[in-house]
């Protein structure tokens, strides 16, 4: 199949973890840019309300219940979008959790949750869209990593490990592909609900004390919009977006 050298004016974009934060901001930004967005998350009432708000503003948005830790749930999400639109142009693998703690706290259940959501969730998304994108002869996978995938700080050992893994998976997919674009977006401190998942009260308070410099989720959404909007022969491989004041 011959792929055009310029992007379609309207792409079908699937977004995981779209009920808040970066996922919600990305859905709203891309819909405003004329793309057809499909929101996925466990909180169906929330994504239904966001999708309705987007449609009320003249955008195109659908939603579907999604648990990224379940391969079948991810496949159902992708299948529903494909059945509705006839194609899948972009997957934004955004769903993630960040229950930070020191290793000696032995929060093994939280370690496993991060592995399941942050790594397996990304792999499930890739597995679900890759056959469709191969058949189309084009596609774009945007994986949300973190600046914690570039460095390791105390309390973030396991979280950083999952984000290092996201970058490794992304680079492997990029090198294996000649008809897919792969972009890694690594946000720094960004206003979102991620800190709500930190069960250690001391760690949660320490992180929240740094959030006064955090950038809005819309800044990350703008970066994703930029990467998606490039000509199809241009692959923006990696974007690191931090607050200016972040060390």
Residue 228, burial from CB neighbour count under 10 angstroms (0-12, 13-18, 19+) = buried
Question: Helices in 64-120 by DSSP H: which ranges?
Answer: 71-85, 108-114
On whether the CB atoms of residues 192 and 145 are closer than 8 A, the answer is no
Q: Which of 77, 111, 159, 164 is catalytic?
A: 159
> 30: alpha, beta or left, given left = phi > 0 and alpha = psi -120 to 50?
alpha
Dump strand ranges (E) for the chain: 12-16, 36-41, 60-65, 90-93, 139-144, 180-187, 238-241
DSSP structure class, residue 150: T
Catalytic, 226? Answer: no
DSSP structure class, residue 38: E
> 155: alpha, beta or left, given left = phi > 0 and alpha = psi -120 to 50?
left
Of 212, 213, 220, residue with least CA distance to 241: 220
Question: What is the DSSP code string of 159-182?
Answer: HHHHHHHHHHHHHHHHHH-SSEEE
List the catalytic residues. 159
């Amino acid at each position: 199949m011959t792929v055009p050298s310029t992007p379609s004016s309207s792409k079908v974009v699937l977004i995981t973890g779209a009920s808040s934060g970066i996922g919600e901001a990305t859905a709203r930004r891309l819909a405003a840019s004329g793309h057809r967005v499909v929101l996925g998350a466990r909180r169906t009432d929330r994504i239904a309300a966001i999708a309705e708000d987007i449609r009320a503003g003249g955008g195109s948005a659908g939603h579907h219940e999604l648990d990224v830790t379940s391969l079948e749930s991810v496949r159902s999400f992708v299948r529903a979008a494909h059945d509705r639109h006839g194609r899948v142009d972009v997957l934004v693998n955004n769903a993630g959790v960040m229950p930070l703690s020191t290793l000696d706290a032995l929060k093994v259940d939280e370690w496993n949750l991060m592995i399941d959501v942050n790594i397996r969730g990304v792999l499930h998304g890739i597995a679900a869209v890759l056959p469709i994108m191969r058949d189309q002869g084009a596609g774009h996978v945007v994986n949300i990593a973190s600046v914690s995938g570039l460095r390791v700080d105390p309390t973030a050992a396991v979280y950083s490990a999952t984000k290092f893994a996201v970058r490794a998976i992304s680079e492997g997919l990029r090198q294996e592909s000649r008809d897919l674009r792969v972009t890694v977006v690594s946000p720094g401190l960004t206003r979102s609900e991620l800190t709500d998942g930190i069960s250690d009260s001391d760690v949660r308070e320490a992180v929240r004390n740094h959030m006064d410099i955090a950038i809005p989720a819309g800044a990350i959404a703008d970066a994703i919009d930029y990467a998606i909007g490039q000509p199809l022969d241009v692959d923006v491989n990696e974007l690191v977006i931090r607050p200016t004041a972040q060390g």
